[in-house]
Amino acid sequence: MALASHHHQHVFQHASLSPSSSTSSCASSTESPLITCPKQSIIEAATAISEGKNDVAVEILTRLSQVGNVRGSSDQRLTAYMVSALRSRVNPTDYPPPVMELHSREHTDTITQNLYEVSPCFKLGFMAANLAILEVVADHNKLHVIDFDIGQGGQYVHLLHALAAKKSDKPTILKITAFTEQISGVDERINSIGLGLKSTANTVGVCLYFTVMACKVTELTREKLGVEPNEALAVNFAFKLYRLPDESVTTDNLRSELLRRVKGLSPNVVTVVEQEMNGNTAPFLARVNEACGHYGALFDSLDATVSRDNTERVRIEEGLSRKMANSVACEGRDRVERCEVFGKWRARMSMAGFGPRPVGELVANSPRSKLNSGTRGNPGFTVNEQSGGICFGWMGRTLTVASAWR
């Protein structure tokens, strides 16, 4: 299926050597002509790598590194990070590609959560998921949410406020079950997130029960989760499924297995929020092209919300560069960044027995109004509905999609 992202080619502008210099000092060198279109040169380097011409690739990457700059324009930042990603591919011994770092606490908690806060495309994705969850509460005053990757719990701070704002004669009871496969020992981090959410719940006047469920995915049952007959059951997958290996990686196919298990719980709603990017089974060259377009647009969009010299932004982009490098430099089990386009998620959800849950007017319109107020009406950000998903994008390219299923 052709989504907006495929029609949009991210355009690199001329990148000078540093943000301040207007004339280039290496134009006089005849051996290495100045790179005026980094995007084209990145693709040329990737093509050389795919053809086994590593020496050609290294030469192009060396020239590209002169126009890349992690503190420069968004194009220069992307160029610098893409150079290091491709160097990891050519020479993994000297430039080890990120695998373990993507599982580190610092990456998964601090950097990722900060990205969710500063990027409307991520923040509003969570908000759309919450609104879809709230739609099923209409006939129940008890809501039970199972979350497979609670992060820092930011999504539920918004949900608690939204529940408190609901005018109903009976107070809503919220149960959150944070799922973890860390069977041995108590996950202190998740417990402390629970305490923080309880404190927020007390402040806004919502009754919250928070539990941590440590078990294997294969052991999931309604009984084990303590699901009661009178409560609405919601399962939330926000930026979680893309990291599970599928049938292209292992015969276990954790991606489909988890969805089938969740279908067996008969939830009222399942929410899915994912980055819109064809990065799972696509071959190397296609992934490089896709990463350039996706992360190029994302870096551009950060320009609209965070100042260039903000140290937090540099850390966020370093985190994004790890994701990008893993998606292009690694193969097999080492490649944990396996994003898909919404069309593929739709197919996978339907194979697991789910049907789309139509998103109501509220779900589609609320993020749009929030976007216009939050970004002072920045016309670069877009929200639109497409084939049952709500797409959040920048300059015509969809970056994240939120959808609901049952």
Mean pLDDT in runs of 10 for the chain (406 residues)? 44 39 39 80 98 98 96 95 98 94 85 91 95 87 94 94 84 92 76 96 96 90 93 96 95 94 97 98 97 97 91 93 97 96 97 91 79 73 91 96 97
Supply 239's token pair: 């930026």
Q: In what order do the strands lie in the sheet with 173-180?
A: 207-214, 173-180, 142-147, 232-238, 269-275, 397-405, 389-394, 381-386
CB 299 within 8 Å of CB 317: yes
pLDDT value of residue 181:
80
Q: How many CB atoms lie within 10 A of CB 264?
A: 13
pLDDT value of residue 186:
64
Supply 132's token pair: 């879809």
Supply 51's token pair: 């053809």
DSSP symbol at 107: I
- Cα distances (angstroms) measured from residue 4 to each of 7, 83, 343, 372: 5, 27, 12, 21
Domains and CATH numbers, the chain: 7-101+281-329 (no CATH), 103-278+337-405 (3.40.50.150)
Query: How buried is residue 52: exposed, middle or buried, by Cβ count under 10 Å (0-12/13-18/19+)?
Result: exposed
Q: How many CB atoms lie within 10 A of CB 218?
A: 8
CB 127 within 8 Å of CB 365: no
pLDDT value of residue 185:
65
Q: Give the three-class secondary structure for 28.
A: coil
Half-sphere exposure of 268 (CA within 13 A, CB side): 21
pLDDT value of residue 361:
74
pLDDT value of residue 8:
45
Distance CA 333, CA 99 (A): 9
Query: How buried is residue 154: exposed, middle or buried, by Cβ count under 10 Å (0-12/13-18/19+)?
Result: middle
What number of helices (H) and strands (E) belong to the chain?
A: 15, 8
Stated pTM of the model: 0.89
CB 236 within 8 Å of CB 145: yes
pLDDT value of residue 182:
75
pLDDT value of residue 31:
55
DSSP symbol at 356: B
Where are the strands (E) in 203-268, listed by range? 207-214, 232-238
Task: Map tokens 């991606």 to a residue.
Answer: 255
Distance CA 263, CA 268 (A): 10
CB 280 within 8 Å of CB 338: yes
